[in-house]
């Protein structure tokens, strides 16, 4: 009897927190899975549009002023999205492992992280001003755009391994 109640207690102790987490998240054991999915989806929209512009800049696809302008406008519009709700404290790779490459440095330096977003906005506007004005103008604007992406990824995203 004593053994039975003890193991029942232990089982309850093990199950309760698990049940609470699952209920809170609805996505397995990662409470921020939907936040991370939103962030990564946002980045994929950027990569898709940068792919159009970069493909033209590199000569992989023919320059098309209208398509270039559309892609650049999308990038500038994305810069206006307030993504703050998708970056809750604790949704970093130290807490969640491989689910995200977001480094804890984001939350240790939220001001610096915000400045990087502003710099992305400036580079995206620069591209929107340039993309429709010919291939050379587009090529001149792609470097600063890559610089803005890299500047943020340098400090705030886990490197590839």
Partner 1 sequence: MRFLRFLVILAILGAAAGWYLTAPQSLAASDIPERDGDAEHGELVFWAAGCASCHAAEDAEGDARLIMSGGRAFPSDFGTFYAPNISMDPDHGIGGWSEAEFLSAVRNGVSPEGQHYYPAFPYTTYARAGITDLQDLWAFMQTLPADATPSRDHDVGFPFSIRRSLGGWKLLFASDDWVIEGDDLSPQVMRGRYLVESLGHCGECHTPRNALGGLDYANWLAGAPNPSGEGRIPNITPAALTWSASDIANYLRDGFTPEFDSAGGEMAEVILNMAHLPDADRAAIAAYLQALPASE
Single out the residue of 151, 152, 134, 131 nearest to residue 142, CA to CA.
131
Q: Rounded to an integer, what distance in angstroms lies between the CA atom of residue 79 and that of residue 123?
A: 10
**Position 161 contacts partner 1 (CB under 8 A):** yes
**Position 142 contacts partner 1 (CB under 8 A):** yes
Among 7, 37, 58, 83, binds partner 1 (CB under 8 A): 58
**Position 40 contacts partner 1 (CB under 8 A):** no
DSSP helix/strand/coil, 9: helix
> In the complex, what is the shortest distance from the CB of residue 111 to partner 1, in angstroms, rounded to a whole number?
12
Answer yes or no: are the C-beta atoms of 148 and 123 closer than 8 Å.
yes
Q: Exposure string (b/e) for 113-150, b if CB count within 10 Å is 16 or more?
A: beebeebbbebbebbbebbbeebebbbebbebbeebbe
Segment near partner 1 (CB under 8 A), from 32-40, 73-81, 129-137, 141-149?
141-149
Among 32, 54, 68, 138, binds partner 1 (CB under 8 A): 54
Quote the Cα angle for 31-103-41, to 5°. Answer: 60
> In the complex, what is the shortest distance from the CB of residue 82 to partner 1, in angstroms, rounded to a whole number?
22
**Position 143 contacts partner 1 (CB under 8 A):** yes
> In the complex, what is the shortest distance from the CB of residue 30 to partner 1, in angstroms, rounded to a whole number?
21
Residues forming the site for partner 1 (CB under 8 A): 47, 50-51, 54, 57-58, 142-143, 145-147, 149-151, 153-155, 157-161
């Amino acid at each position: 009897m004593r053994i039975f109640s003890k193991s029942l207690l232990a089982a309850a102790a093990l199950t309760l927190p698990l049940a609470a987490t699952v209920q809170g998240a609805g996505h397995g054991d990662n409470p921020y899975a939907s936040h991370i999915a939103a962030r990564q989806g946002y980045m994929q929209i950027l990569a898709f549009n940068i792919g159009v512009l970069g493909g033209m800049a590199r000569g992989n696809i023919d320059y098309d002023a209208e398509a270039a302008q559309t892609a650049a406008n999308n990038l500038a519009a994305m810069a206006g999205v307030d993504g703050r709700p998708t970056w809750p404290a604790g949704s970093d790779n130290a807490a969640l492992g491989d689910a995200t490459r977001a480094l804890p440095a984001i939350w240790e330096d939220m001001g610096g992280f915000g400045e990087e977003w502003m710099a992305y906005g400036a580079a995206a506007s620069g591209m929107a001003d340039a993309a429709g004005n010919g291939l050379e103008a587009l090529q001149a604007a792609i470097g600063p755009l890559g610089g803005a992406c890299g500047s943020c990824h340098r400090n705030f995203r886990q490197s590839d391994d």
